Amino acid sequence: MSHSDSQAAQELAAVASAEQTEQAAQAAQAAASQKRKKLFTLLGGAILLAALAYGTYWHFIGSRYVSTDNAYTAAEIASITPAVNGIVADVKVVDTQYVKQGDVLVVIDSSDAKLALLQAEADLDRAQRRVQSYFANDAGLAAQVLAREAEQNRAAAQVLSAQADLQRAGLDLHRREALAKSGSVSGEEVSNARSTLLTAQANMKVAEAGAIQAKSNRNATIGAQQASTVLTANTTVATNPEVALARARRDQARLDLERTVLRAPVDGVIARRQVQIGQRVQAGTALLSVVPTQSLHVDANFKEGQLTQVQLGQPVTMSADIYGGSVEYHGTVVGLSGGTGSAFAVIPAQNATGNWIKVVQRLPVRISIDRKELIARPLSVGLSMEVSIDTRGGKAAAASPM
């Protein structure tokens, strides 16, 4: 083989090798492209499957729930205030102490209240005796009226008798004056008859005056009886207004004595104690508070757009940061606030400047907590909560005042 032939063979071998290499590269590139297409297909399928799964979950489950972590425990705290003034004699509790309903919390010195009760009891006894005298006076005046009527009748009879004597004396004088003209009667007899007439006239005036006096006495006695009857009309000693007023003051004094001992109105924990032994307190002064830890509720602040399907009575699942997500509480929606927090602020937001930027508002929703779960896992006021409301079956509910 000549040198030129050998060189041509080498060139042909080089070309064939280059073609094989190019074909191998093209095959590798095609395989890689096919693999990429397969991976993209798998990835797209996974994304589609995840989207489908999420859409299914949201349609059947997730869309029924609205949740927020802007929620806190709260309670209707009982404020302990005295109803009477006085000096604190004893304080039975300290902050964080658990008390039961009826336990003694604070004792106010009762010396003044005891004296006031004794005075009120004495006033009641005096009022009862005074009213009893009214009834006795009524009976006495009734007897006096009968006596005055008898006196008036006697005076009337005396007037009739005086009238008869006057008529008789007048007739006797008339006869004697007629007989005196004929000389049958002496002048002395005429004078005596005239004197008898004058005496009869005087007696008549006395009898008339006595009748007037008897009538006036009877009228005065009747008036006194009526005035006395006004004090006792339609009453007994027990129901008389004076006795009732004295009894009410006695009862008030007794109540004031009982109020010198302040008791717990509910079961709970003592908080914000501000009273010390020896301190003079005024009625209405806040001394301490009782937090009913077994009657807590949750105030959850939801965004206004989340409340479309929220309504009263819907079930709620909650968790507290203090115990973590492994401990769940259950409750129900019991109320929606009548306004947002900013609406009730001391200085409400004023958006009339022209630079208004819309801020999504939150509306407080009150949620009850299962009492048994609270007893098993106690909570305190103000703890952070995560809340999820199941709106299943709920209808759009307008925010109504609690």
User: What is the DSSP code (8-state) at residue 267?
Assistant: S
Which of 15-29, 132-146, 301-315, 379-393 comes out lowest in average pLDDT?
15-29
pLDDT, one tens digit per residue, over 199-219 is 878 888 887 888 888 788 878
pLDDT, one tens digit per residue, over 307-326 is 888 889 899 999 999 999 88
d(CA 86, CA 3): 134
| Contact by Cβ (8 Å): 381, 320 | no
- Tell how far CA 157 is from the center of its chain: 73
Helix (H) or strand (E) holding 82: none
pTM above 0.95, yes or no: no
| Contact by Cβ (8 Å): 402, 337 | yes
Residue-range domain boundaries for the chain: 20-60, 67-76+292-390, 78-94+260-290, 113-255
- Residues 67-76+292-390: name the CATH superfamily: Efflux pump adaptor protein, beta barrel domain (2.40.30.170)
**65-74 and 280-281: which strand pairing?**
unpaired
pLDDT of residue 152: 78
CATH of 113-255, picked from 3.30.70.270, 1.10.287.620, 1.10.3720.10, 1.10.357.20, is 1.10.287.620
